[in-house]
Structures are given as structure tokens and as C-alpha cells.
């Protein structure tokens, strides 16, 4: 990426906060504190906060899922064309949380459902329509309520925003030139639909070609985001390289390579006000690098919670918190489960998702009662307790765009054992006995044997208290806060604004928003 030229008209810096601040609108399908299925929601909560701290004005638009409290109507009824019908979602004001403004797209028939993207029967069959409506509503929000200077989209569910801006809205001077930054959180999820969806979801037929959203006879939302956005980012530097390869590109590596000059890897950060053992309200006893005694208390409580027998308390406990998906490398654990349990360890696992992995871990717990404990659930409090109470944290991912749990683990003195891929590779440094450096253990080859080798290395070093403390402290000293990444995003926004400079100038003459 070329270094962006400094813009003269507007600046996000604090010194000029009396000037109108640059407005960034996040368009995402999930975000804390309202909705979450994975790390995307952590990012969509924490990055806007960090951008506000850098002087930006930030709003987030999310679907109003079940459980999101009713709030004031901003626009009671938008008119959105889908298929041969019109739909009438509302825009609801979600208030301001930590300086970030929230809006929801409210259409109960689409979003007031059990799960976000699907239920036990699988993905909802109308996901294309649901997120098409969401994207159109986000654009209307920008037109009528909150005129953003930059739109920042995340993953396939928001990908129609750039597609529509540059096609259906191509003659609309209010929005056609708004710069769009698109972040890839996961190349494994395309939003791939049959061709009929073009009509059902109101996608302009003109984008159905190989250099547009067409993908082997289907419609690919993610591809649309990759092609029609001004800048692409992804959530680690390593993953930015990996997705340009056949192995990790999920069939879109060629598209990504074609846009490599506009692709930037920016590592996710951590919100240490939430994920830090000296501040964590969800763990039995707080602790810090200066006084680790609380970690022992957390371990005892964790073992009890997972039914691990007291005689194993002195031995290492390996923790796992995860979506159960092929991405996460659990087939390696399936392959080596018995070998792993021959080691002097216990295992605590929290997760849900793919049935085959739920069954794997349940079988492990029943084969090794008192040594392997499993909870099939999504439970934030238990996730915190595992981070605090485990000795090691295992993430053998097949691929991992960034991964957050290994970064949380570092701060909790819970030594990560990871496969050297994506963000796992960028955040964990292998322990080096000679120099006393490094924060964890990693393996490169995707094989059960390589994973077991790394686990055995960790178990070996764990027997020496002094060495183990060194590894823990090395990890706890690392700083993965959002400040640095937010500054990197700021550069991308500036570059995107510069790129579309002319359009930006005309937008500045629009009336100022009515929303605050």
C-alpha cells in the first residue's frame, strides 16, 4: 500500500477535535454488547471504541436480533425492494455506548429468530435476502441519518454495501463515492448462493460475471466485497499473505492476488478492560504478573467446575474455548485424543457447533471421567474462567485469520500451544530455552504428530517451575491493545478518502446529520 497523503480538509486527530470529525460507519452482522457468535463481535465492539479515542466519530449498524432491547425509532419504515416485493424495515436508535453510536436494522421476520445465521437445521435459507436488506438499509441510513465519510464493512454479510454503492446507487451523488474499507475476518465463509438469489436478493444482474460476483455458476457475496471495495484489510499480516495462496484462499486467492496492492494485514487487538486477570470480574480471584497467587485459586475453581478429580490438581490442565468448526483443527485432536490422554494432563473444553466435534469431546469426557471435562455451551463467564484457570491453551487451527483466545491467554499467564498459521503465528513466539525468550509453543505441519510434539514440549517445560514462570511472564508482558491497530486503520481510512477525494469534497457540502 502506498503511504496516504495527509488530508488537509478534515483530520481525525485530537488537536483538531473542534473541527467536524471524520465519520466512520461500521456495517457488521454481529457486535458486542448486543450480539456475538465469534471474534468478529469482539472486534466490532473494541475497534470503534479505539477509533473514538483517536478522534474519529464512529457509528455501528447491526441487525436487531432477538434480545436487543427496543429503542427509539429513527426511521420507522424504509422501502427496500427485494424480489418482486417491497420490505419495510425500520432503523432503530441503539444509543451511545463508550462513545460509539449504535443503530439497528429492525425487521422481526428476518432477525428476531433463535440464532443469528441459522438454527439446528442449518443456515437460514433466506440469508441472502436478510443480509441484502441489511446492506440496503445501512446505505439508506447513511443517506438520511448518519452521513458517513467512510464505510467499514466486515465479512460477507456486509459485502453488498460496496457492490450496491458502485452499481444500483451509482447515480446517487449522496453516496456513490463514499469510500469503502472491507475487512476479511474469515475467507472460509463466502455467502455462496444459487443464481436465483440475484433476483431474490435484488442484486443487479450486471454484477453476475467472472470479474464480479459470479463464482462457478453461483453468487458469491464475499467476492463482491473483495472486488467492489476501495481497500481490503484482514486481521493479521500472516493471513494477508496466506489468503493469496491456493491452500488458504478458498478459491478466491486469485481475486485477492489481483487486489494485493489494496490489501493490508492489521492484527486484531484486545480490550484489556475486559480480558485481563487484574480486572476480570468473572474469575474467582484476580491476579497479576506481580502476584500470581490468584491463578492457583482460579485453577482449583476451574477443576471443580469441570469435575476434574482433586488428585489431578497438581498436574497441568489444558484449556480449549472454541466454536466447533473444521477451521479449528479438532480433527487433529480426534486423531490423537488417546495419545494425549496418556500424558499427565487434564483437559477442559468449552464449545459448541459441529455435532461431530461435540460428540468427540463428550466421548473423551466419558472415557476419562475426572480428567477430561467438557461443556457444550456458549458461555462467556466460563470462557473467562478457562483463560484464568488453565495452565495451557490449545489452538491447533487448520487456519486462523487472527484468533483472539491465544492473545487473551497470554495476558492470563496461560501458555498457548498453537499451530503456526495466520494470527496464531503472528502473536505467539516459540519459547527459546537458551535465551529465556518466547511466549508459547507452536507447530507448523498440520498433523497430529506435530501437534503432540508441541504439547510434549510444553509439558516438559511445565515441570520446571522457574522456566514455566518465565514463559508465563513473557506472555503477560506483551501488549496487544487496540491503540496500534486503530492507528493502522486510521491510515487506511485516510488512504481511502484520498483515493475518492473528489466525491468526498462534494459530500462535505451535504447537510450535517440530524442524529445527535
Binding residues (CB under 6 A) for ligand ADP: these are: 38-40, 42, 321-323, 350-352, 377-380, 383, 402-405
Choose one: 1-9, 35-43, 294-302, 460-468; the region binding ligand GLC (CB under 6 A).
35-43
Contact 392, 400 (CB under 8 A): no
Cβ-based nearer residue to ligand GLC, 353 or 403: 403
In SS3 terms, 313-361 reads as CCCCEEEEEEEECHHHCHHHHHHHHHHHHHCCCEEEEEEEECHHHHHHH
380 binds, among ligand ADP, ligand GLC, none (CB under 5 to 8 A by kind): ligand ADP
Q: How many residues does the chain have?
A: 516
Cβ-based nearer residue to ligand GLC, 167 or 268: 268
Binding status of residue 264 toward ligand GLC by CB under 6 A: no
149 binds, among ligand GLC, ligand ADP, none (CB under 5 to 8 A by kind): none
Binding status of residue 235 toward ligand GLC by CB under 6 A: yes
Contact 356, 383 (CB under 8 A): no
Choose one: 39-47, 116-124, 133-141, 207-215; the region binding ligand GLC (CB under 6 A).
39-47
Binding status of residue 485 toward ligand GLC by CB under 6 A: no
- Residue-by-residue DSSP string for 263-289: EEE----B-TTTS-TTT-TTSSS---S
The least distance separating ligand ADP from the CB of residue 88, rounded to whole angstroms, comes to 33
Binding status of residue 220 toward ligand GLC by CB under 6 A: no
C-alpha cell at 392: 495451557
C-alpha cell at 68: 436487543
Sign of CA dihedral 240, 244, 246, 249: positive
CA 296 – CA 415 distance, rounded (Å): 15
Q: Which residue's C-alpha cell is 456475538? A: 36
The least distance separating ligand ADP from the CB of residue 327, rounded to whole angstroms, comes to 7
Q: Which of 155, 133, 177, 172 is nearest to 225 (CA)?
A: 155
The least distance separating ligand GLC from the CB of residue 323, rounded to whole angstroms, comes to 8
The least distance separating ligand ADP from the CB of residue 237, rounded to whole angstroms, comes to 16
200 binds, among ligand ADP, ligand GLC, none (CB under 5 to 8 A by kind): none
Binding status of residue 60 toward ligand GLC by CB under 6 A: no
Of all residues in the shown chain, the one whose CB is closest to ligand GLC is 39
Contact 253, 285 (CB under 8 A): no
Cβ-based nearer residue to ligand GLC, 294 or 403: 403
Contact 129, 201 (CB under 8 A): yes
The least distance separating ligand GLC from the CB of residue 380, rounded to whole angstroms, comes to 16
- Pick the binder of ligand GLC from 403, 413, 416, 438 (CB under 6 A): 403
Contact 27, 135 (CB under 8 A): yes
Q: Which of 27, 25, 108, 7 is nearest to 67 (CA)?
A: 108
253 binds, among ligand ADP, ligand GLC, none (CB under 5 to 8 A by kind): none
- Pick the binder of ligand GLC from 39, 89, 269, 329 (CB under 6 A): 39
Contact 256, 243 (CB under 8 A): yes
Cβ-based nearer residue to ligand ADP, 133 or 271: 271
- Pick the binder of ligand GLC from 22, 43, 333, 374 (CB under 6 A): 43
In SS3 terms, 76-124 reads as CCCCEEECCEEECCEEEEEEEECCEEEEEEECHHHHCCCCCCEECCEEC
Q: Name the residues that contact ligand GLC, by CB under 6 A.
A: 38-40, 43, 185-186, 235, 268, 400-404, 423
Amino acid at each position: 500500500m502506498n503511504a496516504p497523503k495527509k488530508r488537509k480538509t478534515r483530520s481525525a486527530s485530537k488537536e483538531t477535535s473542534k473541527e467536524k470529525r471524520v465519520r466512520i460507519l461500521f456495517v457488521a452482522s454481529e457486535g458486542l454488547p448486543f450480539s456475538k457468535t465469534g471474534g468478529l463481535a469482539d472486534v466490532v465492539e473494541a475497534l470503534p471504541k479505539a477509533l473514538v479515542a483517536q478522534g474519529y466519530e464512529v457509528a455501528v449498524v447491526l441487525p436487531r436480533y432477538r434480545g436487543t432491547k427496543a429503542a427509539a425509532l429513527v426511521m420507522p419504515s424504509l422501502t427496500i425492494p427485494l424480489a418482486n416485493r417491497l420490505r419495510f424495515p425500520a432503523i432503530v436508535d441503539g444509543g451511545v455506548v463508550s462513545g460509539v453510536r449504535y443503530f439497528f436494522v429492525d425487521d422481526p421476520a428476518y432477525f428476531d429468530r433463535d440464532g443469528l445465521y441459522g438454527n439446528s437445521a442449518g443456515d437460514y435459507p433466506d440469508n441472502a435476502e436478510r443480509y441484502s436488506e441489511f446492506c440496503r438499509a445501512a446505505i439508506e441510513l447513511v443517506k438520511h441519518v448518519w452521513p458517513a465519510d467512510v464505510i467499514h464493512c466486515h465479512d460477507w454479510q456486509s459485502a453488498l454495501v460496496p457492490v450496491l454503492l458502485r452499481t444500483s446507487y451509482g447515480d446517487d451523488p449522496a453516496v456513490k463515492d463514499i469510500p469503502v474499507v472491507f475487512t476479511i475476518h474469515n475467507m472460509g465463509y463466502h455467502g455462496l448462493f444459487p443464481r436465483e438469489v440475484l433476483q431474490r436478493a435484488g442484486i443487479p444482474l450486471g454484477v453476475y460475471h467472472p470479474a464480479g460476483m459470479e463464482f462457478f455458476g453461483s453468487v458469491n457475496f464475499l467476492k463482491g466485497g473483495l472486488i467492489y471495495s476501495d481497500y481490503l484489510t484482514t486481521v493479521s499480516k500472516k493471513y494477508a499473505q496466506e489468503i493469496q495462496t491456493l491452500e488458504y484462499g478458498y478459491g478466491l486467492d486469485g481475486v485477492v492476488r489481483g487486489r494485493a496492492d489494496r490489501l493490508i494485514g492489521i492484527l486484531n487487538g484486545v480490550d484489556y478492560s475486559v480480558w485481563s486477570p487484574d480486572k476480570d470480574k468473572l474469575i474467582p480471584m484476580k491476579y497479576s504478573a506481580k502476584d500470581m497467587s490468584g491463578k492457583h485459586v482460579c485453577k482449583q475453581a476451574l477443576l471443580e467446575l469441570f469435575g476434574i478429580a482433586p488428585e489431578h490438581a497438581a498436574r497441568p490442565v489444558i484449556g480449549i474455548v472454541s466454536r466447533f468448526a473444521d477451521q479449528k483443527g479438532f480433527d487433529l485432536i480426534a486423531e490423537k485424543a488417546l495419545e494425549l490422554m496418556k500424558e499427565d494432563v487434564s483437559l477442559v473444553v468449552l464449545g459448541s457447533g459441529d455435532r461431530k466435534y461435540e460428540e468427540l469431546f463428550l466421548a473423551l469426557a466419558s472415557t476419562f471421567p475426572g480428567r477430561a471435562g467438557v461443556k457444550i455451551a456458549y458461555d462467556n463467564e466460563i470462557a473467562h474462567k478457562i483463560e484464568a484457570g488453565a495452565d495451557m491453551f490449545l489452538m491447533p487451527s487448520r487456519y486462523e485469520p487472527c484468533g483472539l483466545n491465544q492473545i487473551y491467554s497470554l495476558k492470563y499467564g496461560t501458555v498457548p500451544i498453537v499451530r503456526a498459521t495466520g494470527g496464531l503465528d503472528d502473536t505467539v513466539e516459540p519459547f527459546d530455552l537458551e535465551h529465556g525468550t518466547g511466549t508459547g509453543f507452536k507447530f507448523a505441519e498440520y498433523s497430529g504428530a506435530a501437534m503432540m510434539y508441541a504439547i510434549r514440549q510444553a509439558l516438559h517445560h511445565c515441570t520446571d517451575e522457574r522456566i514455566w514462570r518465565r514463559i508465563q511472564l513473557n506472555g503477560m508482558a506483551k501488549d496487544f491493545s487496540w491503540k496500534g491497530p486503530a492507528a493502522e486503520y486510521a491510515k487506511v481510512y485516510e488512504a481511502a478518502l484520498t483515493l475518492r477525494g473528489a466525491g468526498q469534497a462534494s459530500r462535505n457540502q451535504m447537510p450535517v446529520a440530524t442524529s445527535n
